[in-house]
Amino acid sequence: NGTQSTLNTWAKARQSRPTPPYQARPPWPNPFQSSSLEEVEVEVGSQNCSETDYSTYCDGPLESGTAYELRIRAFTATGYRDSQSIKFQTEHPTATSAIVVILIILTIVSVTSFIAWRRWSEKKNNTILKKKSKLRRTKSSELCEGLTI
């Protein structure tokens, strides 16, 4: 239970390793307008933030493959209170990206190889046809003209 938030901003927290706790959003009005309990959905890491603005609370992008603890900080007129932590880890998109890049490269190499093979094959067939066209048919009597027995 506290009376004033002293957490880092997103930009300031990114300067340290490991990343210390930071407040992602400024205190906002109570999302629960009535006394009924409703679910509120908040997307984490969804804002584009300046990496040099150390005074503005901002919910900047999360790093891939990183473990996080999320706490909801509820503000009241007399202060605030933090919820229990919710632990999660972001995915490693590098593995997925690497697979996509490899598949694209393999596709390009395959298509290029196929085109080169087709051109080589057509060139080879044209050479054989040219050689065949140079040969002429002769009669067997013409073959024997110069022979003496």
Across 32-118, the runs of DSSP E, i.e. the strands, are 67-70, 73-76, 79-82, 86-89
User: Helix, strand or coil for residue 70?
Assistant: strand
* 72 closest CA partner among 81, 63, 64: 81
Residues 79 and 111 in one domain: no
* 23 closest CA partner among 74, 63, 88: 74
pTM of the model: 0.50
25, 59 contact by CB (below 8 A):
yes
Q: How many domains does the chain have?
A: 2
pLDDT value of residue 112: 95
Residues 24 and 46 in one domain: yes
Which H or E run includes 108? helix 93-134
Among residues 92, 111, 134, the one where a domain terminates is 92
pLDDT reading at 135 higher than 60: no
Work out the average pLDDT over 30-52: 75
Residues 130 and 69 in one domain: no
Residues 80 and 118 in one domain: no
Q: Could you give phi then psi for residue 101, rounded to 5 degrees?
A: -65, -45
Looking at per-residue confidence, does 60 or 125 come out higher?
Answer: 60
Q: What percentage of the chain exceeds 70 in pLDDT? A: 69
Q: Could you give phi then psi for residue 111, rounded to 5 degrees?
A: -65, -45
pLDDT value of residue 103: 94
Condensed to tens digits (0 to 9), the pLDDT of residues 2-24 reads 555 678 888 898 888 888 888 88
Q: Is the dihedral of CA 76, 48, 44, 9 positive or negative?
A: negative
Condensed to tens digits (0 to 9), the pLDDT of residues 88-105 reads 898 876 667 788 889 999
